[in-house]
Every structure is written in C-alpha cells, then in structure tokens.
Structure 1
C-alpha cells in the first residue's frame, strides 16, 4: 500500500477585504489574500520563491488598528483583520513611491509600471530636471548578461538569489550608503573577476531589467525584442539526470531566453549555467 503525505492542513481565516468578507489559509499574506480576491495590488520587490523584503513599499495597504500603512507582501493575515487596498491614503503613498522611483531610475523596461503611473496619476517630472538620477553606463563584460545600474531600484532580489536563498555563491552584494548604494561584486571589479558562476538566477528575478540576458539586451538595442511575438515551450533539460524544468522563449525561430517555472518541483525557478545558457547547440545551423 502506498501512503501519500498530504502535509499539515491549514485552517481558513476570515478577514474583511475592502468591506467584503473573504477566507484565506492560515499563513497567507495580505498580498495572497488580495490576489485570491482579484485585487490588483502593484508589486516590484516581491517575487515568487524568495522571502519578501518589503523594500519598494509599493504594495502598502491600510489595516484597521495599524497607525502606518503596511506592506501587503510580508504582512500575514490574522482572524478578523480589516484591510483596505484602495483608499486615498494608499493611493497617495503609491503615487509618491512611483514618482520617487521613476524620477531616480530608468523604469522603461519594468513590466506594469507605465500602467501604474497612469492609474495613480504619478508625475515623476514634477521634481524637475535637476532631480538626481542614477545615470550610469551599461556594463557588458561577458557574453551571457548585461548590467544596467541606472535601472536598479535596490530591491536586493538579485542579492538574495545569489546568496542564501538560492545559489549560495554570494558573488554580489549592496555596497555604499544612501544615494551612493550600488549592487556590486567585491571591489567593484568586472563580473568576470568575481565569484559569479553565471547561473543567471539573479537575472531571472530582476524586476526592472537592470540585469538582462545578453540576447535580450542585444535585441532591445537593435529594436527587435518583441515579447508579444514570442512563444513559450516547457520542456526538460537534457544536460544531466536531475530533470530540471525549462521554459524556452522563442522568437523568429530562435531561442532568445530560457527560464524555469517558479513552481517547478525540481528547480523552484533556479537553473545552472548549462540549463539557462547552454542552448546554442540547439540552434547551431552550421
């Protein structure tokens, strides 16, 4: 007889979300509850398979009894909790966050931001042309990915993916303070002189395009990158016997990017250098 472990059942908690009662599993976050109820709560620094850092503060909501707005991505639900997601106080906070971020960094390749700026009436230009910006040059020192510091919002997702939450390589970290803080390798050396193993997990979790695959970077520079024209095919990596799940992004009959589903039971979104970048032989037409 085969016994299947189902895990510990979680009780359901009743909360009120924008005046409507909803039930969510114990241990869920307010963001989980919002998504389950169809509430569109914007997020930047939050990502699947990574612990929430509550860095960007874009997902803040009002919770009855809390004197300050709370980040939905990390606040756990409690029985009887009263949550409001679209009050003027919440909208004002999100509008200000968007204005501060968009006035300081380039968010042109950040999915969803243009729509949020329009939805919340954000005006990043109101700070004027003299507003300090992270106008730093692009770093392309290898054949696999590019770094654009001017797009970085310091969410630290790449640091977590490189460190104890995923790869355990610890090749990158945040150095400096205040407006001078940057994600760098040791001594700000070229990536090729660091401990980087080129797994690309940091690129995969970057929400703004500050880290991008070289194939995407080159196509964007040439004006040929078009996600709407790309197909996605899920398959299994053939380099070894682990059985990692891959998603092949194909445009113009060419693999332009390889990712892995966050819910894949083997990878949980992580890949090694072979799985993520070793696809050149597939399209070698020589």
Structure 2
C-alpha cells in the first residue's frame, strides 16, 4: 500500500499495532497494511464484496457480532483483533460447514486455511452430503461442477456490474437447493452468456474450469507444477489486453489475465480467453 497522506489517513489498531489507511478503506485493507494474512472466499480485488462467506470476520471492540473485514469501512480509533479464539473458532466452523456439502478438493487456498485452523468437517457428516449432480459439459470451452460450488457470488458479480454487464447468471432456488443458474436454467448456448470466461477466472473452487483442464484432470495428467506461465498481449484487437498463457508439454492448456493489469483487471472477452487454439 502506498504512503497515506496525513490529512486523509485514518488510524486504527490491528492486533495491537497502529495502522494508517486512507479514508474509505476497509478493515481488510488495514489488515493487509499490517501484514496480516486474512482468509477470504467471496472477496476479490476486482469485484464488489457481497458479504456471503463470512470467512474474513474479525473481532471489533464495541461490536456484539464479528464483522466482515472485506466490506466494513474503517473508523478512527477502531480496535481490531484477527487472531482471537472467537475469530479462529468462527473461521474454522465456516470451513467445516462448507466442506460437509461441497467438494473442496481443487480449492487449494481453502485447503491451506482449513489446515491452518484445524478444520475437521468429518465430525459433522463423515462422508459429506454433495449434490451428486453430473458435471455439466455443454461445449469445449468450460464446464460447471455444482458439487464444487460454494455460492460465493463471484461469478455473478463478474457477469454483472463489476465486469461483463451480461447478467447471464444469478442465484436460483433456496436453502440447500440454491445454485448458480441461467435464466430458467436453459443451456449456456441458449442463455445470454457471451463466453467471456470471466466467471471461470474468479471461481475460487474450480466449480467453473476450462474444458482443457477438466479433460487433463480426468486423464490424471493435470500437472500445474510442470507448467510455465508466459505473459503476452492478445493479438485479436488493439485494446492491449494482457494474457497469461499456461503451457504444459509445449501446449497451451488455459489462458488467464493478471488482476493488476490496468486494462483488463483480470477480465477478457471470448477471443482472449478461449481463442488461443490457432497457436
């Protein structure tokens, strides 16, 4: 974080350390400035927080309930605790509850946090209770695996106001039947989807993933450690979108875009995201 001008700085305490952040910043921004690594699911640097996962909660003096750090603006004099037993207990239970009904086997970041907090989902439902719905494969671009979906809303936000403005998907259903769906649950080619793949890019659990990756995983040949990532510029038009080409065995296996790029901010169109087979 860049130095904060004194006249616009807000001072709060994070784990007994004074932190200066700009006015309008969030508690999560303050935690980052303090060097505190905070677990998140529904939060992304390029998306509007929707406050649904409650994994980033912290303890705030004067507040009866734990507060979501990703969306709570800082106020002068706040005293925040990120590692109290109450916070750790809450985060551990969120991870445990998710793992009882969702396949997190490809959510590496959540697996790291589950280990850190000692989450044990087996103490609720030994084998979990998944949707057990077949993976939806409707084309050669990307797949949808509802057993891996944590309903974080990231894909909905990327499809809507935060990036694509297509509004092809939303949350449908209630309770345990809630899921991300197209309007009237029509097939993707019959929906408003423009196949930009921005939903795939922001998914934290691989519920949405490239068909190329899915096929390699089925063949037990997906090897991220053997892949190289090369940044280049999309050749389809003059906008200048940056691409990150993931290459395995001298073959492009998927294409992403850096979140910190001032043009793309991680977002691409169908040509940039999926149109690399001509290489």
Q: TM-score range by the shorter chain?
A: over 0.9
Work out the CA distance in 2 between the residues paired with 1:128 and 1:277: 39
Superposition pairs of residues 92-241 of structure 1, within 5 angstroms: 92-129=89-126, 132-241=129-238
Task: Name segments (4+ residues, structure 1) moved above 3 Å.
Answer: 129-132
1:136-171 deviations in Å (ceiling 9; x for gaps): 210001110000001111111111111122111111
Work out the CA distance in 1 between the residues paired with 2:28 and 2:207: 25
Structure 1 unaligned blocks of 5 or more: 1-7
Greater mean deviation of Cα atoms: 226-235 or 67-76: 226-235
Q: Given the superposition, is the C-alpha separation of residues 231 and 13 from structure 1 closer, same or farther in structure 2, using an over 3 Å criterion? A: same
Work out the CA distance in 1 between the residues paired with 2:30 and 2:225: 30
SS at match of 2:278: helix
Q: Residue 251 of structure 1 corresponds to which residue in structure 2?
A: 248
User: Are 2:229 and 2:245, in contact at CA under 8 Å, matched by a contact in 1?
Assistant: yes
SS at match of 1:234: strand
**Residue of 68, 71, 75 corresponding to 1:74:** 71
Number of residue pairs the alignment of both structures matches: 275
Work out the CA distance in 1 between the residues paired with 2:117 and 2:79: 23
What TM-score results when the alignment is normalised by the length of structure 1? 0.92
Work out the CA distance in 1 between the residues paired with 2:127 and 2:267: 41
2:81 matched to 1:89? no
Work out the CA distance in 2 between the residues paired with 1:230 and 1:38: 30
Q: Residue 28 of structure 2 corresponds to which residue in structure 1?
A: 31
1:103-137 deviations in Å (ceiling 9; x for gaps): 01001111222222222121101113475432221
Q: Residue 49 of structure 1 corresponds to which residue in structure 2?
A: 46
- Cα RMSD over matched residues? 1.6
What TM-score results when the alignment is normalised by the length of structure 2? 0.94
2:278 matched to 1:281? yes
**Residue of 267, 270, 273 corresponding to 1:270:** 267
Structure 2 unaligned blocks of 5 or more: none
Work out the CA distance in 2 between the residues paired with 1:150 and 1:208: 10
Work out the CA distance in 1 between the residues paired with 2:206 and 2:84: 30
SS at match of 1:216: helix
